[in-house]
Structure 1
Amino acid sequence: MTLSLSAAAHFAARLQFETDASDVHADQEDGARFVLVDSRGDAAWAQGRIVGATHLPTAEIALRAPLEIPADMPVVTYCWGPGCNGATRAALEFAKLGYQVKEMIGGFEYWAREGYPVENDHGRVVRALDPLTAPADAIGCAC
């Protein structure tokens, strides 16, 4: 029984501090109040980013965030993808500043692979949906 309670607490905590591309996109569509922060460097930002994201590299968060993002604004951080812990480091910086923050698991990679809006310095980028990350003929994965 203790193991079950421990597991439940673990997974509940993860959901409190993590989100995914599908949920972030749904929140954007619903007009939810939050700032989506791309914590990658300049070259990565120029190459491609989530439409509507704010560029705030991790090394600049402590200095810039209090000047640019209201303290009561929820924040979602992302970086490259599951092989990168940049979004975790960025979320930690926001948490240290007292922000309500979540990390978007899957990062830019899964956002793009799931077919959500992407842009680069030249405008919108249309990418094919990857059927290994999202159903090809459904609105969501229904998970």
Structure 2
Amino acid sequence: MSESFVLTFPPASPEETADYMRWKLSFHADAWDVAEDLSLGVDRLVVIDTRSAEQYAAGHIPGAINLRHRDMDAASTAHLDRSKVYVTYCDGIGCNGSTKGAYKMAALGFQVKEMLGGLDFWKRDGHPVAEGAEPGSMRGRAIGLACAC
């Protein structure tokens, strides 16, 4: 047996690790970074709630639009600006609606990232939730002192 379970497979070189982590970050965003960008009014991002209209109305990220992943196709996305980066989310880690939405958006030619942890992690970070059919806004809202991670 090896002296270490962790080191049974040696770590990659620092350069390989940096490349991999950069690659990994190109696919995901976390709730805190999304909240920061929405608060600052970063206009290159559009957040998409991939859940049903009923779930969206019950509570969503302020500023997010609602486009259910099951309805994503060329017609339903024709009005979206292809110069933007879209961030998809759903309920949380037990839901793959954000993954399906990110896949469909990318397959349709959009730049997209998936928000890790969905609305569950958004709430865990203490960010506000908007209710109703309107997106609402995070612009100018204070989001706390600092990210806990």
Q: How does 1:58-73 map to 2 (within 5 A)?
A: 58-62=69-73, 63-66=75-78, 68-73=79-84
Which structure has the greater CA radius of gyration?
2
Aligned-partner SS, 1:77: strand
Q: What is the CA-CA distance between 1:142 and the residue it aligns to?
A: 5.5
Counterpart position of 2:98: 87
Residue 45 (structure 1) aligned to one of 35, 56, 69: 56
- 2:56–2:133 CA contact under 8 A, matched in 1: no
Distance 1:43 1:112 in 2: 18
- 1:22–1:140 CA contact under 8 A, matched in 2: no
Q: 1:9 to 1:31 in 2, by over 3 A?
A: same
Distance 1:20 1:2 in 2: 25
Aligned-partner SS, 1:139: coil
Q: What is the CA-CA distance between 1:42 and the residue it aligns to?
A: 2.3
Q: What is the CA-CA distance between 1:119 and the residue it aligns to?
A: 1.7
Distance 2:148 2:124 in 1: 17
Counterpart position of 2:139: none
Structure 2 unaligned runs (5+)? 1-9, 135-143
Q: 1:122 to 1:3 in 2, by over 3 A?
A: closer
Which structure: greater helix fraction? 1
Q: What is the CA-CA distance between 1:7 and the residue it aligns to?
A: 3.8
Structure 1 unaligned runs (5+)? 124-137
Q: What is the CA-CA distance between 1:69 and the residue it aligns to?
A: 1.0
Q: Which amino acid aligns with 1:3?
A: A
Distance 2:11 2:128 in 1: 43
- Coordinate RMSD, CA, aligned: 2.2
Aligned-partner SS, 1:37: strand
Distance 1:92 1:54 in 2: 17
Q: How does 1:1-143 map to 2 (within 5 A)?
A: 3-4=12-13, 5-33=15-43, 34-62=45-73, 63-66=75-78, 68-121=79-132, 139-141=145-147, 143=149
Aligned residues: 128
TM-score in terms of structure 1 length = 0.79
TM-score in terms of structure 2 length = 0.76
Which structure is higher in RCO with an 8 Å CA cutoff and minimum separation 6? 2
- 1:76–1:104 CA contact under 8 A, matched in 2: yes
Deviation per residue, 1:82-124 (Å, 9 max, x gap): 121211110111111111111110101111121212022299x
Counterpart position of 1:135: none
